[in-house]
Structure 1
C-alpha cells in the first residue's frame, strides 16, 4: 500500500511542480524531490495525508503553526516555505531544497574545528535573532533540524513545535512541554511556564557543545536521570574546547533563564565576532513616512493575488487548516473585505490616522502605519498588505515591522477593528459568510 501511494505521488505534476524521488519519511509525512517546471529549480515537497491529520488533532496544530510561522520568518539561514497547496486527500508544502543534508550527519563523523563550529553557530544565532524579533520561538533546536546547503551554510528547519505570541498565557509565558529531551531547557521541564526565546538559547548552548565536543553534554540511559542533570546543569566541557568557547557555553547552559546570556550579549563577544560576517535578512525596508508624503502622486500598485487554498486556509474555521491559529482562535491579523483594493487602502489610511498613527505607503499594495508614542520596544510600526482574491474581494494581512509584539497583538485584536467594521466581511478566527468558499466560487478542499 505504501509503495503504491509513493508511485501515485511520484511523477505527479502538481501545478507548476513535478514530483520525483522520496527524500525522507516521517511518522505523518513524506518529503519528495520536486522540480519547478518553469525554472527547472529543485524544491522539496512535503506531502501530508489529510486522513492522518483528521485522526490526530495534535498534527493539525503542528501544520497550522508551521505555516503561520514560516510565513513570518524569511531569512538566509531559514528554510523557505514557497507555497502550500492541497488536493482532496493531501496537503503539499513546497519548500526550498537544501542539498547538504542535516548538520547532525556532519557532527556524527566527529567534532568540528572551532572556526567551522563558530560559523554555524553564528548563522544559527543570526536566524534565531530574526525569529525572536518577530515573536517566534523555535522550541526544537538540534543538529537534526539544522540543514546545510550546497555552499555549506546553515538553514533552520522544522517549525512544527514553534510558538507564536498568541500562545502566551496571562503570565506572558509558554506552558507547553515540548522539544527533544537532550536539548530541552530546565525551565521547560519544571512545568511552571517559560520564555520561549530564552529556552531556545539553552538549546543553542547544547548545539554549540555538540559541535565542539562531538557528543552531548547531558547523557544517561535513564531519561529521568538525564533530566536531573539538565535541571542542575551537570556537565563537563572537554579540554580541547578553547577558553572563550567554554565561557560562552557556560553562560548559555545556565539553569536560571534570567541569568542566561542574551543574543545581544553574544554578539558582543570577541569569540563570536571572529572571522564571520552576519547575513542580512531578506526584507525590503519600507520608505520613510516623510518620503511617501513628498510624493502625493504615488500610484496604488496592483495587489498580489491569494489563491483559493490560501484564502480558505486563512479564513475558514473548518478542517482546512483552521485559520492558521492556535486552537482555532487567536488575535486576528487577517480580514476579508468585499471591496476593491483601492477602497480598502483608503479606509486603512483613514483608520490609521484616526488612531494617531503616521501613515505612509510601502512597496506593493501596502499601507504603513507608525505609532507616534514610544512603546516597550520603541515605536510600533505595522504594515497592512492587501491581496486580491476576486475582483470585488480582498484579503488584508497585518504584519509587525517594529515595536513590541504584544502591542501589535492588541492593535490587531482591539484597536483597529472598530474603524474597519463597515468594510470587513470576516476576521481571521471569526465565522466567515461561507466556510467552504462556495459564495466566491472557490473549490472546497476538504
Structure 2
C-alpha cells in the first residue's frame, strides 16, 4: 500500500474510506472528494501485478473507452491518477449494487421492470456502438444500479474499438466474453461483428430478466456451446407473445439475419407505453411473486470457466470447493497436454498421457489417499478447445490448492479467459 493510502488521502484531493471490494490486481475504496464532498468509487490498480500477467493493455483500453463514453446509463469515469506503484480510477459511486444481485434475491422480474432495464441497456449499448465501442462482455454482473434504480453499464476491460481492433476483413477475431452470454459466431472463431455480438448478449440478458434463469443451461460446456450455436432454448409459460417474438429475433444464431438495435427499438414490446415508477414496482412485485418454477441456481453456468478466470479486477467472490475446473483455449490439445505434463513432473506426479487426455497421480498420500487428477481436451468449435480438469481421487482441498497455486499460473498464457480477465492478444488481433 502506498503512503498516500496509509494516510487515508490521495493526491490531497480524495479521502479514502473503507475497502468495498478487492481482487487479484486491485482494491476499490469508497472515497470522498474533499472539494465537492461527493463520494466516488476509487479503484487502485497494482501496476506491477497487472504488468506481470500481461493485462496492462486491458486496463489502458478500459480507461480510454470510459473517457469516450458519456451516457446516463454508463458508469462515469471522473478522473485517472497515478503513483509509482498504482493507477487510480475515480469513478461514479453506485449504491444500488449489481442487477445480478437483484435477480438473485428476487427471482425473475415483472415485464414492466424488465422492459425498463432493457430499454436503458439498449440505449447505452446503442450509444457505445455509435462511438465505435463494442463491449463484448455484457451480463447482469456488469450492469449496476444507482440509488434511484437506474441501470449503468460497467467493465469495459474486454471492449474493442472499430478504429483499431478490426482486421482487414472488417471483423473482430478475439474469442472472449462469458460463455453463457457469448454469441455463436464468437465461439466459431471465424470473425464477428462486435455490434451484432453485443445484441445477442442483450437478448440473453432480457431472457434472464423475464425468466430468472438462463436460456442456455448445461452442466457441460460442450453441450452449452452446442445449444448456443443452434439457439436451442425454450420459453417459460409466462412470457408474453410479444416478448417471445423479440427474443427469438435477437437470439438468431445467424448474425446476418439477427435483428438490429434500430428494429429492437421499433418493436411493439419495446415501445409499449411506460407506467409510473410506483406502478412498475407494484406490478413487478405482483408478477414475480409466485410463479418461479426454476431458480437462479442455473447462474452457475454464467461463467463455466470461472475455475480458471484470472478474477475480475475489482471483485472478490467467495467460491465453494470444487472437484473440477473448465476453461477454453485456442491452443492445440498437444500443447495443453505438454504443459500439464511438464507441471506434473515438476510437482512429483506420475504422468500418463494420450492424444487428448493426461493423468497425474500423486506419489505421496494426502489426507484422503493419493491425489489423482485427469485433464481432458476436446474441440467445441474450429480452433477452440475446452479443457476439463477433474479430481479422480484424493482430497478436494488438496486438489483446489493445486489448481490455485500451481495449475492456474502454469496455464495462464494458454487459456481463453472469461469475464474481466481479458485476452492478452495485442489490440490489432481483436
- Partner residue, 2:82: 86
1:68 paired residue among 42, 64, 67? 64
Q: CA deviation at 1:237?
A: 1.0
Per-residue CA deviations over 1:364-385 (Å, capped at 9, x if unaligned) read xxxxxxxxxxxxxxxxxxxxxx
Q: CA deviation at 1:15?
A: 3.5
- Residues 9 and 19, structure 1, Cα contact 8 Å, conserved in 2: no
- Partner residue, 1:196: 194
- Partner residue, 2:283: none
**C-alpha spacing 1:14/1:237, structure 2 compared with 1 (3 Å):** farther
2:170 paired residue among 160, 169, 172? 172
1:217 paired residue among 190, 215, 218? 215
1:21 paired residue among 18, 21, 35? 18
The reply to whether residue 32 of structure 1 matches residue 26 of structure 2 is no
Runs of 4+ in 1 over 4 A off after TM superposition: 4-10
Q: CA deviation at 1:13?
A: 3.0
TM-score by length of 2: 0.62
- Residues 10 and 20, structure 1, Cα contact 8 Å, conserved in 2: no
The reply to whether residue 103 of structure 1 matches residue 67 of structure 2 is no
The reply to whether residue 256 of structure 1 matches residue 254 of structure 2 is yes
Q: CA deviation at 1:159?
A: 0.3
SS of the residue aligned with 2:28? strand
**C-alpha spacing 1:162/1:10, structure 2 compared with 1 (3 Å):** farther
- Residues 141 and 203, structure 1, Cα contact 8 Å, conserved in 2: yes
Q: CA deviation at 1:27?
A: 2.7
Partners of 1:203 and 1:184 in 2: how far apart? 6
Partners of 2:208 and 2:51 in 1: how far apart? 38
Q: CA deviation at 1:225?
A: 1.2
CA RMSD of aligned residues (A): 1.8
Q: CA deviation at 1:53?
A: 1.9
1:244 paired residue among 235, 242, 245? 242
The reply to whether residue 183 of structure 1 matches residue 181 of structure 2 is yes
Partners of 1:10 and 1:255 in 2: how far apart? 54
SS of the residue aligned with 1:167? coil
Where in structure 1 are there 5+ consecutive unaligned residues? 278-446
Partners of 1:30 and 1:234 in 2: how far apart? 40
Greater shift, 12-21 or 126-135, is seen at 12-21
Q: CA deviation at 1:276?
A: 4.3
Q: CA deviation at 1:234?
A: 0.6
The reply to whether residue 118 of structure 1 matches residue 115 of structure 2 is yes
TM-score by length of 1: 0.60
- Partner residue, 2:136: 139
Partners of 2:227 and 2:36 in 1: how far apart? 51
Per-residue CA deviations over 1:336-392 (Å, capped at 9, x if unaligned) read xxxxxxxxxxxxxxxxxxxxxxxxxxxxxxxxxxxxxxxxxxxxxxxxxxxxxxxxx
SS of the residue aligned with 2:43? strand
Q: CA deviation at 1:9?
A: 4.9
- Partner residue, 1:152: 149
- Partner residue, 1:52: 49
Partners of 1:139 and 1:206 in 2: how far apart? 13
**C-alpha spacing 1:80/1:246, structure 2 compared with 1 (3 Å):** same
Q: CA deviation at 1:5?
A: 7.5
Partners of 1:152 and 1:13 in 2: how far apart? 30
- Residues 122 and 276, structure 1, Cα contact 8 Å, conserved in 2: no
Q: CA deviation at 1:71?
A: 1.2
Q: CA deviation at 1:11?
A: 1.9
Q: CA deviation at 1:26?
A: 2.4
- Residues 138 and 162, structure 1, Cα contact 8 Å, conserved in 2: yes
Question: Higher relative contact order by CA 8 Å / sep ≥ 6: 1 or 2?
Answer: 2
- Partner residue, 2:267: 269
Per-residue CA deviations over 1:138-165 (Å, capped at 9, x if unaligned) read 0000000000001100000000000001
How many residues are aligned here? 274
SS of the residue aligned with 2:229? helix
Per-residue CA deviations over 1:149-203 (Å, capped at 9, x if unaligned) read 0110000000000000110000000000110011000000000000000000000
Partners of 2:127 and 2:250 in 1: how far apart? 19
Q: CA deviation at 1:7?
A: 10
Partners of 1:101 and 1:239 in 2: how far apart? 30
Partners of 2:46 and 2:184 in 1: how far apart? 35
Q: CA deviation at 1:50?
A: 1.0
- Residues 196 and 258, structure 2, Cα contact 8 Å, conserved in 1: yes
